[in-house]
Structure 1
Amino acid sequence: MNGTAIENFVCVIFNVSFMNCTWHVGWTASGDTQYFLYWKTSKKEDFTGCQNYIKDNYGRHTGCRFQNVTIENKRAYFLVNGSRSGQNIQSYQKTIILYRIEKLTPPLNVTVNCREVSHGCEIQWQPPHTSHVKRRACFKYEIVIENKVDPEKNIRTTSQTERSITGNSYIFGSFSAEKRYSVKIRATDNGCLVSASWGEWSTPVEFGKEQVTSTSSSMLFLISMLAASLVLFLCTVSIYLKKVSATVLQPRDPFHEISPMDFETEYKTQLMKHETEEITIIEEMT
């Protein structure tokens, strides 16, 4: 029996409601030993068996995955027993305060607002997401700001670390627009029912030279697009004016030389008009 119970039992809550529990096989356990985990969140409840085991290369259970775990009850009771060729082996029991094993999510919505005139940047963020703590004062933070490497200017990567920051903002006073930086943040307990271990790092946010370069590229792109649009507009207007001018009737030239055919036609017209007027007069006299 001795040495057949599991060893190094560890549980971690992550992403607010997921929990993984893992253990090592007992040092005297044979290859056909199998373990089974049961847990409950109140002494009055019945134990519930694991539904999603983690297995090693021999098919032995070495852990369990849980979903939809809440920390409201604050305590959980675990029991791991097993069998070997139909014989019982040593069992293992442990009580865990759930909030202490939570791995805090990264702080949310990290933003950086820099002012080159004051050589300062304001870094802001929101508290990590948890299921049982809503007060912002329950967290304190660690911030790491790196001055990114720049081979052209022979600048090596250096970092500045600030711990035990309360609130949700920090002023970085050594900003230079000619340099490129990145910032990441993580959280821990500040006197509430929060894990004393540091949580996960936020995704690094870059600012500085890279940000300025990106902005300049965007402006150049916009200017190019506006110029191309203007050229296209002028070409369209020019083509339209040519089409309109082609359809306008040209005025008759008053100084156009009368051809012999035109003169003959005009003479016949006048002669017929004269004869018509004479006939009209004779009829009136009669």
Structure 2
Amino acid sequence: MAAEAWVGYRNFFSFTLLALNGLRKIENVDSANSSNEHLPPPSNLNVFKEDRFTLNWTWSPSENILLNQGCNLKYRSMINEKTKERSKNLWRSEYKNSDPNDAVCLKVRAECVERSYPYGESHWIKNCTLLSPGDPATSVTNFTCVWYNKEYMNCTWQPGKRVPPDTSYILYYRYGNLKSDQQCHEYSYKNQIAIGCHFSKLELPKEGKIYFMITDSSEKIRSIYSDVDLDSILKPSAPRIANISRTSDNEISVSWSNNLWPVRDACLRSEVEYKGDALDVEIFPVDKNRSFIIRRKCFPDECCTVRVRVKINKYCLESTWSDWSQKESLGEDGGRNYDSSVIYLLMIPLVGAATIILIIFLKRILVLLFPPIPDPAKLFKGMHLEQNGVWQWTEYSEASVCSKPVKEETCSLVLMESPYTSSSEN
């Protein structure tokens, strides 16, 4: 009995001590919460650029904080009021990224943390730095990237409004596995100015972020910084419609194939666009399948058009939509019609043959409308041969024509002389 009583007294005594300690902690927390700035802040907040992409901040620890009184000291930092971090480190490193003001601001404060909940804190200290000097109108705009079917990536941009004419843009990039900055190897140009960069599959990581910097060799423009998540810019290739037919209920059955990397059907999300004779367009969502029956009547005397596009759903990686497939339709004869581009290809030789025929008929019409003028030399030559080389002109009242010569007659002529007398001399 005495032993049991002793155990009961000991348990009661232990419980009383725990309760008193809990009350003391609650009092400490309440007193800390009553003053939001009862801790001394850190000091000497500095920033420096480690390389083209990385900014490093350092600061000195808070002074006069008694860590042996239960303060688990950590430093909470925020970059541009967005990226939050809490750790015991006296430094922070971050990749550069574009900001509307082209400036990066970091603020940091000290906190006493208990089970991830701060019960004491200091006021913030702040340091802002300009990412790139220069005229904002000289930096590139509309920087975008598209990762096509995990095979290659194209990034494009537009030159600045007040860019110097001799500007030579340079794109640098970096991601986790790269130990140093890399430069674009294949630019695309417009008016002899670089406006894009092509990345092959071997130059890209399989996933994650890529960080970019676009500047120029002369450093006369303001550089821009950007980062992209590969999954967010992934664009699958367009599907191909494999079969389209009319069911017994005059509905349309369509199936398609995807030229994608190995991906589970559960990750696929498709859209089927239907257009009937009424020119109304409907889009039907399709999940996890590569075939669909459109529950709309398409009778044999109607023309119904279908096309498909695909994306990876949000449960896998949430890609962008692919381009639409080629249009396939069921015509008035109930059969499958090919895309209009095929019809255009067939029309090319027909148009060429019609053009040749038209040119021949036009030539005949021109001969009838505008007969050729005869050559006078040829006419006279024929008349000369007809008259054996003998012809003359006979003058009529108003015109001269050529006629046959009359018969030639010969007359005799007698010359008589009078005698020469002497009387005549006298």
- Which of 264, 268, 280 is matched with 1:139 structurally? 268
- Which of 141, 159, 184 is matched with 2:281 structurally? 159
CA contact (8 A) 1:37 1:50 kept: yes
CA contact (8 A) 1:188 1:194 kept: no
SS in 2 for 1:112: strand
Structure 1 residues 89, 160: closer, same or farther in 2, change over 3 A? Answer: closer
Shift of 1:9: 1.0
Distance 2:256 2:286 in 1: 15
CA contact (8 A) 1:111 1:205 kept: no
- Which of 291, 305, 318 is matched with 1:182 structurally? 305
AA in 2 matched with 1:65: H
CA contact (8 A) 2:174 2:181 kept: yes
- Which of 6, 29, 43 is matched with 2:163 structurally? 29
The yes-or-no answer on 1:123 pairing with 2:246 is no
AA in 1 matched with 2:251: G
Distance 1:213 1:33 in 2: 54
SS in 1 for 2:232: helix
CA contact (8 A) 2:269 2:312 kept: yes
Match of 2:206 in 1: 72
Relative to the length of structure 2, the TM-score reads 0.43
Shift of 1:185: 0.6
Query: Which sits farther off after the overlay, 139-148 or 161-170?
Result: 161-170
Distance 1:64 1:202 in 2: 26
Distance 2:168 2:177 in 1: 26
SS in 2 for 1:113: strand
CA contact (8 A) 1:103 1:195 kept: no
SS in 2 for 1:99: helix
Query: Which sits farther off after the overlay, 92-101 or 23-32?
Result: 23-32
Matches within 5 A, 1:169-208: 169-173=291-295, 174-208=297-331
SS in 2 for 1:46: coil
Distance 2:148 2:333 in 1: 33
Structure 1 residues 165, 176: closer, same or farther in 2, change over 3 A? Answer: farther
Structure 1 residues 165, 175: closer, same or farther in 2, change over 3 A? Answer: farther
The number of equivalent residue pairs is: 201
Distance 1:110 1:121 in 2: 13
Runs of at least 5 residues in structure 2 that lack an aligned partner in the other structure: 1-133, 338-426
Match of 2:245 in 1: 113
Distance 1:20 1:184 in 2: 26
Structure 1 residues 108, 16: closer, same or farther in 2, change over 3 A? Answer: farther
Shift of 1:211: 4.4
Runs of at least 5 residues in structure 1 that lack an aligned partner in the other structure: 149-155, 215-286
Match of 1:259 in 2: none
Structure 1 residues 213, 65: closer, same or farther in 2, change over 3 A? Answer: closer
AA in 2 matched with 1:67: S
Matches within 5 A, 1:194-233: 194-212=317-335
Q: Which has the higher contact order (CA 8 A, sep 6+)?
A: 1
Distance 2:234 2:147 in 1: 4
SS in 1 for 2:196: strand
Match of 2:193 in 1: 60
AA in 2 matched with 1:39: Y
AA in 2 matched with 1:21: C
AA in 2 matched with 1:167: N
- Which of 234, 237, 252 is matched with 1:102 structurally? 234
Q: Which has the higher helix share?
A: 1
Shift of 1:206: 1.7
